[in-house]
Structure 1
Amino acid sequence: MATTNVERDEIIRRAVMRRPDDFLNVTVHLWERLATELITLIGENGFQSLYVRSVHLTRTTYPWIVEGNPTHATEKRFAGLRNSLADYDIEIASAANRLLLTTLVDIIALLIGDILMTRILCTAWTNDASDIAGKELQE
């Protein structure tokens, strides 16, 4: 069965809202994990180009999103995005983040296909769900 945009959107929505109490840290961590997976496939320059394009497209709805510099080291790669989102309440910030993620994922899905893109999302984020669940059980 082919994956649809609706299914990918749901994966993104669940991941972004996994821990609303720690939204900014979760958001940056999701982006870092996704970037790591995508860079192995499309390289640093490919990721940077597609990320910048996604930010540009997302700015039509959320003009305050800052591009940042996705070529920086992992811990600083999404500092601009984090700072942009920090200025808004969680509902607006999460909607902007979901749109940015969806835009990037949709662009890449057009290039590599829906099934592979969904598999990349699951690979990037599934371990996070297990890690978080394990930590919550220990608490």
Structure 2
Amino acid sequence: MAPWRRIGEQLVPLIGELGFCALFGRATRLLAARYEWIGAVASGKSAAALLAALEAAVAAVDPAEARIANAELLATFTRQLTALVGDALTARLLATAKESPSRPEDAQEQNK
């Protein structure tokens, strides 16, 4: 979940809460046919609510399936962001989000 939190922290100030939620919601809807449980995540009012719902959904399914679905969700989200802002800006935004953990618990999660 740490990558999602960092991406949210980077993008929400730039594209707004509604922009982030729209991109994230669209990505979850695209994957809902393959991963039914991920479709329920799309109903959040804020980035924090969406990410909390994703975290709960991921915890409730088989870990292998959760890893695959989360990777696909991130890839889908990234493709949509690229279509919106272009390759160069997407690469810079995601590189910045991956640079350093924003919270101590994220650093612990990365070290696992």
Fold match (TM-score > 0.5): yes
Q: Secondary structure at the match of 2:17?
A: helix
Selected match of 1:84 from 57, 62, 81 = 57
TM (normalized to structure 2)?
0.80
How far off is 1:45 after superposition? Answer: 1.0
Shift of 1:118: 1.4
Find 1:62's aligned residue among 35, 58, 71: 35
Please identify runs of 4+ aligned residues in structure 1 that moved more than 4 A. Answer: none
Task: Identify the residue that residue 14 of structure 1 maps to in structure 2.
Answer: none
| Equivalent runs, 1:1-139 vs 2, <5 Å | 27=1, 29-65=2-38, 66-67=40-41, 68-71=43-46, 74=48, 76-128=49-101, 132=107
Q: Which runs of 5+ in 1 are unaligned?
A: 1-26
Separation (CA, whole Å) in 2 of partners of 1:77 and 1:48:
7
Q: Quick check: which one's helix share is greater?
A: 2
User: Contact 1:70–1:78 (CA<8 Å) still a contact in 2?
Assistant: no
Map Cα deviations across residues 13-53 of structure 1 (whole Å, 9 max, x no partner).
xxxxxxxxxxxxxx2x2211101111122111111111111
The residue identity in structure 1 corresponding to 2:79 is D
Rg: which structure is higher? 1
The question of whether the paired residues in 2 share the 8 Å contact of 1:70 and 1:77 is answered with yes
Shift in CA distance, 70/104, structure 1 to aligned 2, threshold 3 Å:
farther
Percentage of pairs with the same residue: 32
Cα RMSD (Å)? 2.2
Question: Could you tell me the TM-score, scaled by structure 1's length?
Answer: 0.66
Contact 1:50–1:104 (CA under 8 A) maintained in structure 2: yes
Gaps of 5+ in 2: none
